[in-house]
Structure formats: C-alpha cells, structure tokens
Amino acid sequence: MAKESLAACEAGFYTNGRGERVEIRALVEEAKDGTGLYELGVDRLRDPKPRGKTAIAVTSGTTIEALVRLAPKGGHLGCLNFASAKRPGGGFLGGAQAQEESLARASGLYACLQTQPEYYTRNKDFRSPLYLDIVLYSPNVPFFRDDNGGWLDAPVLASVITAAAPNASALKEQHKFDAEDVAVVLRNRSELVLALAAHHEIDRLVLGAWGAGVFGNDPALVAKIFRDLLAGKYAGTFTEVVFAVLGTRETSANHKAFADVFG
C-alpha cells in the first residue's frame, strides 16, 4: 500500500474505485511547498481568537475516518500527526501500523515530510527522548485512500501538524524518566500544536491519544492537558475538535481515559 501511494504521488494521479482518473500533482506540490518548521519561543504565532463554542467529541476510530467524516462539513480541516522524531513517516515503508504510518500511506504527507530534513537531524542530535519543541506544518495535504487501502472518489484536503511526543518508554529504559519533566514537555508541545492550528485558522481539528501508544505517556495526562488548553487559552478557537481514539471505553485504556476526561 505504501509503495502504491508513493507511486500515485510521483505520477501525479490515481484511479478511484469508479475507474476515474483523479489528478493530485498540483495538490501534492502545493502541500510540499507550504511545509515549514516552527519552534516554540522562536516563531511568532498569532494569538488565538475565540469564534464561538467548540464542539468536542471523543470518537472510536482512526484519524483518517474522522477526516473523511468531517470533510463534508466544510471549513479548514486539520489533524495532528503522531510523529517519529527521527524518520519521515516512521516505519510506513516497512509496513508499520501506527498512526503516522497510516497517514503517510493514505496521503501525500510523506513527500511533505521529506522536505524538512532539519526536523529529523535536530531531534537526532538532541540525543534525548524528550525531543525538541519543534513541529512541522503541511497545508492542505491530499488524503486519497481509506484505512483499508481503498482509493477515495476525490481527495480530502487536511492540513497536518507533525509533532513528536516525548518518549516516556525510552526515558524509563534509560533510567532518565522524570514525571514532571515529561508533563512540562507534553504541555508545551501540546500548546504549540494548538497555537499552530489557531495561527493557520483551522476550523475542524482531529487530535487523539498522542504519545500514549508505544511512547508510553499517560493517556489521562495527555487528555487533561488538551482539555485545560481547550477550556482556557484556546476556548472557542476551533469550530470542532475530535479526539479519534481506537477502541471503546470497555476495550481500550486510551479511549477510556479520553472519554472520562471529556465525558
């Protein structure tokens, strides 16, 4: 699936399930050209502007499912990419199944990430699983496949914020885990994600249990950080925020944590 998606981006088109040729070359190139790196405390971002009450929901499903569902509502659509700090697209070329890999397989995101080697070099050179407070923004990335590999009738455009959570699991393995340090990094980086989304006037934003998978962060902590930011500085900034979390309250600790916090 990954190679097919890369081939479609290189060819500039794909054939959808109805046998129609769908052009994506210009969309991919525009997303690549607009991709840039932002750093906490360095890049000046516009202050968030309340636009009304934000509808917040926790849904059972994937980021891609949420994007496809939200797209018909209109407005500027965006999502958070739960990024690898060291490799564009994580392990998607090798068939890995985590969130970033699913996004890369279904869209032009990988081509965008490859334009920003500085992001990966700086995180590698930092030599800490906390990683740096730097993120990438890719505007209107075309998503053209569903989670099962089916080709969408027409691409869904969603701006992608690529951010690596601190790797709590790696810190514990290195005996360098400090709960307070991790919490501070999570909060600062979560705020940078929301600040960037607000700066680019995203209306509908898909988030999730960021960093609560193999990176081993406490899902309740991640949920509470986002709740506090969305109820505080970013109250009313977005029309809709969806936390797409796999499983259900009964089958997933991550889903239960988010449902409890936002329920």
Question: Which of 124 and 42 is assigned the larger pLDDT?
Answer: 124
pTM: 0.96
Instruction: In the chain, count H helices and then E strands.
Output: 10, 9
Asked whether residue 225 carries a pLDDT value surpassing 80, the answer given is yes
What local confidence, expressed as pLDDT, does residue 39 receive?
94
Q: Cα(25)–Cα(28) distance, rounded to whole angstroms?
A: 5
For range 11-30, the mean pLDDT: 98
User: Quick one: which H or E segment has residue 30?
Assistant: helix 25-34
The token pair at 215 is: 């990176």
Question: Which of 137 and 214 is assigned the larger pLDDT?
Answer: 137
Q: Is the dihedral of CA 216, 138, 116, 108 positive or negative?
A: positive
Q: Cα(155)–Cα(68) distance, rounded to whole angstroms?
A: 9
Question: Which of 158 and 52 is assigned the larger pLDDT?
Answer: 158
Least confident of 92-101, 126-135, 170-179: 92-101
Least confident of 40-44, 50-54, 129-133, 208-212: 40-44
Q: Which CATH superfamily hosts domain 2-262?
A: Leucine Aminopeptidase, subunit E, domain 1 (3.40.220.10)
